[in-house]
Amino acid sequence: MSKTKSAFFCQSCGYESAKWLGKCPSCQQWNTFVEELVQKDKGKNSNDDWKSYNGERKNKTISLNDITSSEEKRIVTTDGELNRVLGGGIVMGSIVLVAGEPGIGKSTLFLQNGLHMKGVSILYVSGEESEQQIKMRADRLKASNEDFYLLTETSTQIIFQEIKKLRPQLIIIDSIQTLHTPFIESSAGSVSQIRETAAELQRFAKETNTPVFLIGHITKDGSIAGPKILEHMVDTVLQFEGDRHYAYRILRTLKNRFGSTAELGIYEMTGSGMRGVSNPSEILITQKEENLSGTAISATIEGLRPLLIEIQALVTQSVYGTPQRTTSGMDLRRLQLLLAVLEKRGGFHFGVKDVFLNIAGGLKVEDPAIDLAVLCALLSSYEDVPLPMNICFAGEVGLSGEIRAVNRIEQRIAEAEKMGFEKIILSRYNQKGGSNLKTNIEVVAVGRVEEVYNLLFA
| Binding site members for ATP | 100-107
Are 197 and 206 within 8 A, CB to CB?
A: no
Type and span of the H or E element at 165: helix 156-166
- The C-alpha atoms of residue 329 and residue 312 are separated, in whole angstroms, by 11
Closest CA to 397 of 333, 447, 358, 456: 447
Residues forming a β-bridge with 265: 251
- The C-alpha atoms of residue 227 and residue 405 are separated, in whole angstroms, by 41
Q: List, as own/partner pairs, every contact residues 161-164 make where C-beta atoms lie below 8 angstroms and the sequence separation is at least 24, other chains included.
A: 161/49, 162/123, 163/50, 163/123, 163/204, 164/49, 164/50, 164/53
- The C-alpha atoms of residue 314 and residue 382 are separated, in whole angstroms, by 8
Q: What angle separates helix 332-341 from helix 371-383, to the nearest 10 degrees?
A: 60
**Residue type at 84?**
R
Residues forming a β-bridge with 416: none
What order do you get walking across the sheet with 212-216 strand by strand?
Answer: 148-152, 122-126, 170-174, 212-216, 95-100, 236-241, 248-256, 264-270, 273-276
User: Which ranges of 277-398 would DSSP assign to H, the alpha helix?
Assistant: 281-284, 332-341, 371-383
For residue 175, cis peptide bond before it (omega within 30 degrees of 0): yes
Are 237 and 255 within 8 A, CB to CB?
A: yes
Closest CA to 429 of 404, 450, 397, 410: 404
Instruction: Return the number of other C-beta atoms located less than 10 Å from residue 58's C-beta.
Output: 5
DSSP count for the chain of H helices, then E strands: 12, 23
Mark the binding-site residues, compressed into ranges: 100-107
- The C-alpha atoms of residue 294 and residue 289 are separated, in whole angstroms, by 15
Write the DSSP string, 286-311: ---SS--TTEEEEEEEETTEEEEEEE
Are 236 and 261 within 8 A, CB to CB?
A: no
**Positions of E strands within 60-210:** 74-75, 90-91, 95-100, 122-126, 148-152, 170-174
